[in-house]
Amino acid sequence: KKGSHQVEDETREKHKEMHIEGRRIIKMEDFIKQIKDLDKHSPCGCSFSDMIIIEERRLGLRSGFIFKCKMCNLTETVWSEIKTDTEIDVNTSAVSGTIATGGGHAQLEEMLGAMNIPQMTDKTFRKYEHIVSKGWVATAQNEMNEAA
């Protein structure tokens, strides 16, 4: 009996569910599609209801939730939004909006804190600030060329 108890403990540890605190910004269409793709993911009959979150990977305001199936051990990441070349991502949008309203990293940090959303690091903010400012410079240059 002692040996079987140890196996149960190891299994519990192996499938330890992570508790995620706070809120996240999620693009619902992307998130729901990924969840649906995980349902009935195995011929063994397991489904999304057999999956637990074991980890979260945060890239600024974009989150990847790592799910693991308790039945077949499949591990998949479900992202809060799927990056595309045709749409501005959440990090660029947040930084652009913050700068456009006269704010900086401290103001974004304050707003996210008030909403209980995990912070974007200053380094990440600066990276996206550089991307946004390059876009604004290119847009201004194009407008000046068209006006000339």
Residue boundaries of the structural domains of the chain? 2-79, 90-147
pLDDT of residue 141: 73
User: Of the candidates 58, 63, 97, 56, which has an alpha carbon nearest to the alpha carbon of residue 80?
Assistant: 63
What is the chain's pLDDT, residue by residue, as a tens digit (148 residues)? 445 444 444 444 456 889 999 999 999 999 999 999 999 888 888 999 999 999 999 999 999 999 999 999 999 999 999 999 999 999 999 999 999 999 999 999 999 999 999 999 999 999 999 999 987 776 767 777 788 7
How many CB atoms neighbour CB 65 within 10 A? Answer: 22
pLDDT of residue 140: 67
Strand pairing partners for 67?
A: 53, 76
pLDDT of residue 12: 45
